[in-house]
Amino acid sequence: MAETPRIVLDYLAALVLETRSPAYIRVDGLGGILGWGGDTPAYRLPSLAEGEPVGLVLSAVDGLIPHTGEPIRLPAVELNSGQFVDVHVFGGDDHTWVLLTDATLETMQQAMLQQRLNEVNLIRGWHARAADDQITRSEAGELISELPAFTEEGERLEVSVLQLYFALPQHSGPVLATDDLDPLGRVLRAATEVITHESGYVTSMAQDSLVAMFGVLPTGSSPQIHAIRAARDAVAAVREAGSIGGENGSVAAGISSGFVSVGLVNVAGSRVFVAVGPSLEAAGNLARSADSGTVLVDVATLKVAGDAGAGFKSSGEAYALDLN
């Protein structure tokens, strides 16, 4: 690597001093404080005093002193003040140096992203388990409606509701070796995968339908666009997954957009995700009235769908996309 010019190094040093509030503590071989400097007030540490064990000031370095090997970096250590600090420990001059650099801003930003990422990953896992569970429950004619949710408090959200209606083929011929013996579970898994990929949140499953919301989880585009893309892919996926003996069943989709109130209620000791709003019923009505292989959407969905709305044609008060 080419040598970095002095002016760049000076700029970087000034940048770190300005944005990272570096502070240092110099300690002896027993962990006693010898001196300190830099922007120590920024971290609201307990009083620094010569000879005091550094562990009383910064518990993160307990057990790390004396330090003679490779420098140690402990990223994003939360202080009692609520600030986050990167702690660097390195040796030199017969002493150990503890350097603190502020990491609060980037850690808070990461925290928001990490929270959402973890929630999405948890929900994906729940979806997969719910689909598996449906295999068992479908034999007893039970429905799945209780999926764990990530929000504690009620919220009013603008969402797109997608409802799929499907019917498996009434196949009476021989079952092919390639056929899964449980097509319902296969269909639900396929639909869930597509919906999850589009950041949708499956709120309920039954033996002939599935409901999902877009806009509950963070989405890259508008919920309407994700819902339409998911509907297109879900119709194809359900057809393929529901095939028995080479015969296809039927599948239709309805999408309605608007405000819903979402939240959690306790049912028999479990938290149950609940959504209330006219779009839920409207999506169901659209899906029921749609022909097989068709996606039927309301005006509120299509008008902000952008390119995703290409191919839809007026059909009464709604718009239809024929995927046959």
Site for other proteins, rule CB under 8 A: 55, 59-60, 62-64, 72-78, 84, 103, 107, 110-111, 114-115, 117-119, 121-122, 125, 129, 150, 152, 271
Count other C-beta atoms under 10 Å from residue 15's C-beta. Answer: 10
Taking the least distance from each CB to other proteins, the nearer of 10 and 78 is 78
Taking the least distance from each CB to other proteins, the nearer of 44 and 129 is 129
Q: How far is the CB of 124 from other proteins (least distance, A)?
A: 11
Q: What is the DSSP string of 7-19?
A: HHHHHHHHHHHHH
Q: How far is the CB of 118 from other proteins (least distance, A)?
A: 5
Distance between CA atoms of residues 265 and 44, nearest Å: 41
Residue 28 carries which DSSP code?
-
In terms of Cβ atoms closer than 10 Å to its own Cβ (0-12, 13-18, 19+), residue 125 is exposed
Taking the least distance from each CB to other proteins, the nearer of 54 and 308 is 54
Give the largest CA-CA distance in the chain.
Answer: 87
The residues with which 253 forms a beta bridge, in sequence order, are: 164, 295
Taking the least distance from each CB to other proteins, the nearer of 19 and 115 is 115
Taking the least distance from each CB to other proteins, the nearer of 8 and 112 is 112
Q: Are 283 and 164 a contacting pair, CB within 8 Å?
A: no
Taking the least distance from each CB to other proteins, the nearer of 14 and 122 is 122
Q: How far is the CB of 138 from other proteins (least distance, A)?
A: 18
Q: How far is the CB of 125 from other proteins (least distance, A)?
A: 6
Q: Helix, strand or coil for residue 165?
A: strand
Q: How far is the CB of 67 from other proteins (least distance, A)?
A: 9
Distance between CA atoms of residues 304 and 299, nearest Å: 9
In terms of Cβ atoms closer than 10 Å to its own Cβ (0-12, 13-18, 19+), residue 69 is exposed
Q: How far is the CB of 70 from other proteins (least distance, A)?
A: 10
**Which amino acid makes up residue 108?**
M
Backbone angles phi, psi at 177, to 5 degrees: -60, -25
Q: How far is the CB of 39 from other proteins (least distance, A)?
A: 20
Instruction: Kindly state the tokens that stand for 220.
Output: 């890259």
Taking the least distance from each CB to other proteins, the nearer of 67 and 232 is 67
